[in-house]
Structure 1
Amino acid sequence: MRKTTVAVLLCSLLSAQALAAGQMKPGLWEMTTKSDAMKNMPKIPPEQMEQMRKMGVNVPQFQDGAMVTRVCITRQMAEGDQLPGLEKNEMGCQSKNMVRNGGSYSVDIVCNGAAMKGEGRAKGTFNGNESYTSTYDFKGTMHGQPVNQHSENSGRWLSADCGNVKPVAEMMPKK
């Protein structure tokens, strides 16, 4: 359950970045994802979270059914128009039907990989280059388990300096 939820939520987090070309300011962002699945996610013991942090993992915070994380958006990512990792088909997913209209966007995500199959749709609005809101819906399977996910997402720019937070592209699963 945790692996499925995190993978789908990572796609939703990155869906906003997919259509961010020229709209997201490079630097440190705080991104929040709210979903029913987050409320039911098992709690990670504090000692395990601390161990993950010591290994350099950017562990998100879970608050009131929401996942809050800080991510670094590089200049190249802010100027690009692909989801990091999806252009390489890392999870068997591709972005399709990207549409931009002013500060609004929509994109379909189609997954047909060994681990993840299904379709999703993200849509949202940028409020200038320092914040956005979006929704993401996905229906399919991950590792053979059914997934029917709806999430509401928001992001806000915090700083030009990412500090020790790694770029969001490095969060994607490796083959």
Structure 2
Amino acid sequence: MRQLILIVSLLAAASAQAQNMKPGLWEVRQQPQLDPKRQAQMEKAQQQMAAMPAEQRKMMEEMMAKRGVSMDFGGGGGVITVKMCVSEEQAKRNEPPVAGRANCTHDVQRSGDQIHTKFSCTDPVSEGTSDVTLRSGGDGFIAKTHISHTRDGKTDSIDATSEARWLGADCGGLKPMGAK
């Protein structure tokens, strides 16, 4: 589950980098294209989450909410819906909502509504690219992201398509991800 949260965080960060962020609640629907082994792991994690006793599932959801993430595996077909809160401060800096990813560097090139980002992280070791197309008004975007990450000496790649939309200024009980 920890690896799943990490992957979601990296995908969201790569997709959201340098867009005209609005403060408030964002929803990102991600469709990772996984190899059969990873797809089976994702489905198993979804089944485990669904089969948890209500109290244990609530604890897991609260742990993720403290990191600024709520997830819905109900989309089927491997779609993950993540809700994230972007603070006023993050929006002013056009800072993507990332949990503890100060160990990453980003090279961002923007032309009109197109953003190309190359990123590299040291812990965990990962790198990738993201191509984002912004919607007019800054209330959403679509992105294609590629991430390669190394764990225990083995390198894996993940590709994902994401679509994000701004839901509103009120985050409810969700705290901004990575807020200081």
TM-score scaled by length of structure 2: 0.77
Q: Does 1:79 align with 2:79?
A: no
**1:166 — aligned with what?**
175
Q: Deviations over 1:105-127 (max 9, x none)?
A: 011111233xx223200111110
**2:71 — aligned with what?**
60
- Mark the CA change 1:55 to 1:137 in structure 2 (over 3 Å): closer, same or farther: closer
Shift of 1:148: 0.8
Amino acid at match of 2:17: A
Which of 30, 36, 53 is the matching residue for 1:33?
Answer: 30
- Unpaired runs of at least 5, structure 1: 171-175
Does the CA-based 8 Å contact 1:52-1:59 persist in structure 2? no
- Mark the CA change 1:15 to 1:5 in structure 2 (over 3 Å): closer, same or farther: same
Amino acid at match of 1:16: S
Equivalent pairs, count: 160
**1:105 — aligned with what?**
115
Q: Deviations over 1:12-36 (max 9, x none)?
A: 101233212xx12211111111113
Which structure has the higher relative contact order (CA within 8 Å, separation 6+)? 2
Distance 1:5 1:52 in 2: 13
**2:14 — aligned with what?**
15
Shift of 1:147: 1.4
**1:122 — aligned with what?**
130
Question: Where is the helix percentage greater, Structure 1 or Structure 2?
Answer: 2
Shift of 1:81: 4.2
Does the CA-based 8 Å contact 1:32-1:69 persist in structure 2? yes
Shift of 1:99: 0.6
- Mark the CA change 1:98 to 1:55 in structure 2 (over 3 Å): closer, same or farther: closer
**1:94 — aligned with what?**
105
**1:49 — aligned with what?**
57
Instruction: Report 1:147-162 matches (<5 A).
Output: 147-162=156-171
Shift of 1:9: 2.6
Amino acid at match of 1:60: M
Q: Give aligned-pair identity as a percent.
A: 22
Amino acid at match of 2:110: R
